[in-house]
């Protein structure tokens, strides 16, 4: 009998701690599939960040180092420079990457480090209980913007992919989502393209993936999935922002 | 014997690090340690090494964390405020048991302070300056030769004990030039790095972390770290004893203060006073036993520091119960470096 679907080798056969309706599990799978398809599992060193995805080592069957909050691109720089033959990616949330880690992501990108960054944007701090993030949309209620985010006092949601694509050091930058089958297939392609850049030694690659957070948004899994398509995709436009090698 | 060189202390550290096999260096400019990144930026590329001037002290220590997690010998250097910025990640590395070298060519403080020699960072270096309760190995060179030798030793001990190591110096030992006799790294048996990340290959997954949430897990981890600190105290205390065997008064101090004190001790001996010097070389582990042994006979200790009294607390905890400990300190700032004559006066006052 021909096997047409299976768990990726790079993922462990375990249950995750993610909430029902959270997109982390789906994004993990896409990343693991991409690792498998390039045959990277044995030479990969993942860099886990602070947030719900800190348990990367529990779900991926790869070598992993944990990073202090926001510093994953600096840690990945150290790993990759020390072991240039390894495949190195970070997996970071928006609180981690777009707030406390702003300096590290901009400068790793600007140096054109030969690493890949998976940036999971759910417009909130998930693990700490749903506080306002730099990506929180205007009007969005969070535990620290209880009356909704206001631009006058909290500023505007940061579009990180657009910001980074301005830097000459960035080889590939794209934004994807996994809220519909079509978007999910596109997200897989973008992650694969990003990884191909590193596999071929072509420089810094970045994929932002929009994600739901039903628990902290106070929504059902289905409502949260719909919010990604309606509200987030409207402000954070999906697409390829930079593709220097035309993959 | 190899040729003698006339070099600055900061350069001696770089030469020692390169000789010890350190290839990636990650740093950020701050006075008075800039000779270190400048030297490394020239030399490491020629050795197929890596030099990165990071965007901040925080980024540079995290690059060290990443490189060290793969088992290579990695280092960073900075000065006091920069070390403060690195502390969060030093705590992580202590928790993750990652060997590395952190050089603090400290400056005067608090705050922006100044760039003069200071020993105001003793507590920060020795007591685990970051969060959570940890220690790093701390070595305090007092000569240019020691800057070289102790850098090599620091890398070895860091690997043997899987602990971040720190060299604690200041502008005196960092900027001063003195003859250096370079030599190969003394061979030492080192444990296999069966923890280092390299991609799992055909083996089992490895991961390096500091988050432990299971019942009893973190407590157990902390006892493991505690046992390591006890082993360091048992096996790795180092100090110099100079003219202590017949001394009626022992002067103590570390680094540049000990250097000035040694001159004062020699001046006292010239005047017929029975004075010796006990100089801790490892600040953590602190050479407690040497102080206990020395004060079994000599009941007066004069501690000299470039601060208002930090190491003196460890001296008081280490000496025999009936020994008297006197303190003389000058907090840092331009014009505050004591002279040997000034210290001789203190010796005579307490002799």
Q: What is the pLDDT along chain B (351 residues), one digit of tens a residue?
A: 578 999 999 999 999 999 999 999 999 999 999 999 999 999 999 999 999 999 999 999 999 999 999 999 999 999 999 999 999 999 999 999 999 999 999 999 999 999 999 999 999 999 999 999 999 999 999 999 999 999 999 999 999 999 999 999 999 999 999 999 999 999 999 999 999 999 999 999 999 999 999 999 999 999 999 999 999 999 999 999 999 999 999 999 999 999 999 999 999 999 999 999 999 999 999 999 999 999 999 999 999 999 999 999 999 999 999 999 999 999 988 899 999 999 999 999 999
Interface test with B, best of A63, A76, A199 (most B CBs within 10 A): A63
Strands B282-284 and B137-139: antiparallel
Task: Determine contact, residues A76/A64, Cβ cutoff 8 Å.
Answer: no
What is the distance, to the nearest Å, from the Cα of residue B25 to the centroid of all Cα atoms in its chain? 18
Residues in Cβ contact with B3 at an 8 Å cutoff, skipping those fewer than 6 apart = B182
For chain A, the farthest-separated pair of C-alpha atoms sits apart, in whole angstroms, at: 62
Q: Which of B115, B121, B117, B116 lies closest to B86, judged by CA?
A: B121
H or E segment and range at residue B234: helix B217-235
In angstroms, the CA A153 to CA B22 distance is 48
Range(s) of chain B covered by CATH 3.40.50.970: 5-180
Which runs of E-coded beta strand occur in chain B?
A: 5-8, 24-27, 50-53, 75-78, 100-106, 137-139, 164-170, 177-180, 207-208, 239-242, 249-252, 275-280, 282-284, 300-305, 324-329
What is the ipTM score, two decimals? 0.97
pLDDT mean over A84-96: 98
Task: Determine contact, residues B318/B306, Cβ cutoff 8 Å.
Answer: no
Interface test with B, best of A74, A80, A85, A167 (most B CBs within 10 A): A74
In angstroms, the CA B205 to CA A45 distance is 10
| β partners of residue B166 | B102, B138
Q: Does A71 touch chain B (CB under 8 A)?
A: yes
Q: Does A11 touch chain B (CB under 8 A)?
A: no
pLDDT mean over A95-113: 98
SS3 B68: helix
What is the distance, to the nearest Å, from the Cα of residue A220 to the centroid of all Cα atoms in its chain? 22
Task: Determine contact, residues B265/B241, Cβ cutoff 8 Å.
Answer: no
A-chain CB neighbours of B207 within 8 Å are 57, 63-66
User: What domains sit in chain A, N to C, each tagged with a CATH number?
Assistant: 24-243 (3.40.50.970)
Q: Which of A191, A192, A190, A164 lies closest to A73, judged by CA?
A: A164
Task: Determine contact, residues B304/B167, Cβ cutoff 8 Å.
Answer: no
Q: Does A43 touch chain B (CB under 8 A)?
A: yes
- Classify B5-180 by CATH class: alpha beta
In angstroms, the CA A6 to CA A236 distance is 32
**B263-272 residue pLDDT tens:** 999 999 999 9
**Radius of gyration for the alpha carbons in chain B, expressed in angstroms and rounded:** 20
In angstroms, the CA B215 to CA B217 distance is 6
Task: Determine contact, residues A65/A56, Cβ cutoff 8 Å.
Answer: no
Say whether the peptide bond before residue B285 is cis (omega within 30 degrees of 0).
yes
Place of tokens 């793969």: B70
**Radius of gyration for the alpha carbons in chain A, expressed in angstroms and rounded:** 17
Task: Determine contact, residues A206/A109, Cβ cutoff 8 Å.
Answer: yes
- Classify B240-350 by CATH class: alpha beta
Q: Which of A246, A154, A139, A157 lies closest to A210, judged by CA?
A: A157
Q: B68 CA to chain A: closest CA distance, Å?
A: 8
In angstroms, the CA B95 to CA B85 distance is 17
pLDDT mean over A48-73: 96
Q: A109 CA to chain B: closest CA distance, Å?
A: 12
In angstroms, the CA B325 to CA A14 distance is 61
What pLDDT is stored for residue A150 in this prediction? 98
Interface test with B, best of A9, A58, A64, A65 (most B CBs within 10 A): A65
pLDDT mean over A169-174: 98
**A200-243 residue pLDDT tens:** 999 999 999 999 999 999 999 999 999 999 999 999 999 999 99
- Torsion, Cα B182 B184 B189 B195, to 10 degrees, reads 90
At residue A90 the predicted structure's pLDDT band, cuts being 50, 70 and 90, is very high
Residues in Cβ contact with B334 at an 8 Å cutoff, skipping those fewer than 6 apart = B114, B116
What pLDDT is stored for residue B1 in this prediction? 54
Q: Does A112 touch chain B (CB under 8 A)?
A: no
A39: left (phi over 0), alpha (psi -120 to 50) or beta: left
Nearest to B207 among A57, A68, A79 (CB): A57
Range(s) of chain B covered by CATH 3.40.50.920: 240-350
What pLDDT is stored for residue A101 in this prediction? 98
Task: Determine contact, residues A161/A121, Cβ cutoff 8 Å.
Answer: no
| β partners of residue A170 | A204
Please report the DSSP string for chain A in residue order: --------TTB-SS---PPTT-SHHHHHHHHHHHHHHTT-GGGEEEEE-SSGGGGHHHHBSSEEEE--TT-HHHHHHHHHHH-TTSEEEEEEEHHIIIIITHHHHHHHHHTT-S-EEEEEE-SSBTTTTSB--TTPPTT--BTTBTT---HHHH-----HHHHHHTSTTEEEEEEEE-SSHHHHHHHHHHHHHHHHHHHTT--EEEEEEE---HHHHT--HHHHHHHIIIIIHHHS--EEEEETT--
pTM: 0.97
Tokens of A216: 């902290």
């Amino acid at each position: 009998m021909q096997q047409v679907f299976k768990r990726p080798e790079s993922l462990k056969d375990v249950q995750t701690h993610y909430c029902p309706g959270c997109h982390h599990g789906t994004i993990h799978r896409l990343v693991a599939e991409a690792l498998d398809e390039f045959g990277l599992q044995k030479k990969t060193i993942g860099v886990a960040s602070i947030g719900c995805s800190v348990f990367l080592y529990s779900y991926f069957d790869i070598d992993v180092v944990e990073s202090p909050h926001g510093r994953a691109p600096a840690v990945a720089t150290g790993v990759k420079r020390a072991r240039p033959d390894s495949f190195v990616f970070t997996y970071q949330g928006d609180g981690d990457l777009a707030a406390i880690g702003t300096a590290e992501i901009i400068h790793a990108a600007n140096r054109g480090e030969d690493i890949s960054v998976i940036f999971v944007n759910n417009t909130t701090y998930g693990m700490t209980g749903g506080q306002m993030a730099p990506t929180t949309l205007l009007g969005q209620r969070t535990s620290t913007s209880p009356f909704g985010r206001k631009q006058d006092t909290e500023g505007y949601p940061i579009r990180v992919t657009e910001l980074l694509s301005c830097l000459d050091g960035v080889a590939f930058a794209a934004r994807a989502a996994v809220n519909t089958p079509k978007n999910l297939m596109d997200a897989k392609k973008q992650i694969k393209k990003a990884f191909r850049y590193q596999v071929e030694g072509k420089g810094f690659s970045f994929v932002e993936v929009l994600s739901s957070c039903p628990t902290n948004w106070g929504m059902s899994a289905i409502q949260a999935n719909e919010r990604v398509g309606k509200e987030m995709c409207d402000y954070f436009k999906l697409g390829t922002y930079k593709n220097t090698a035309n993959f | 014997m190899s040729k003698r060189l006339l070099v600055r202390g900061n350069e001696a550290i770089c030469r020692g690090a390169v000789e010890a096999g350190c290839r990636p260096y990650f740093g950020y400019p701050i006075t008075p340690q800039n000779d270190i990144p400048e030297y490394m930026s020239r030399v490491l590329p020629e050795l197929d090494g890596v030099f990165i001037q990071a965007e901040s002290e925080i980024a540079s220590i995290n690059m060290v964390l990443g490189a060290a997690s793969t088992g290579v010998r990695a280092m960073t250097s900075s000065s006091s405020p920069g070390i403060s910025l690195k502390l969060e990640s030093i705590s992580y590395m202590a928790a993750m048991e990652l060997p590395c070298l952190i050089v603090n060519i400290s400056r005067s403080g608090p705050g922006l302070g100044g760039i003069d020699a200071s020993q105001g960072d003793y507590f920060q270096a020795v007591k685990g300056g970051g969060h959570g309760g940890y220690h790093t190995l701390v070595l305090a060179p007092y000569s240019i030769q020691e800057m070289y030798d102790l850098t090599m030793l620091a890398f070895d001990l860091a690997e043997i004990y899987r602990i971040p190591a720190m060299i604690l110096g200041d502008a005196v030992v960092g900027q001063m030039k003195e003859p250096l006799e370079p030599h190969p790294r003394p061979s030492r048996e080192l444990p296999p790095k069966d923890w280092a990340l390299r991609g799992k290959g055909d083996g089992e997954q490895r991961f390096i972390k500091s988050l432990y949430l299971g019942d009893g897990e973190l407590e157990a981890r902390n006892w493991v770290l505690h046992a390591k600190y006890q082993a360091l105290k048992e096996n790795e205390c180092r100090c110099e004893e100079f003219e202590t065997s017949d001394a009626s008064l022992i002067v103590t101090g570390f680094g540049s203060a000990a250097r000035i004190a040694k001159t004062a001790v020699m001046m006292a001996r010239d005047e017929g006073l029975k004075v010796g010097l006990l100089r801790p070389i490892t600040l953590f582990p602190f050479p407690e036993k040497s102080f206990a042994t020395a004060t079994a006979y000599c009941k007066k200790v004069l501690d000299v520091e470039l601060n208002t009294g930090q190491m003196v607390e460890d001296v008081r905890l280490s000496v025999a119960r009936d020994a008297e400990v006197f303190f003389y300190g000058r907090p840092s700032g331009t014009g505050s470096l004591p002279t040997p004559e000034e210290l001789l006066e203190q010796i005579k006052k307490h002799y």
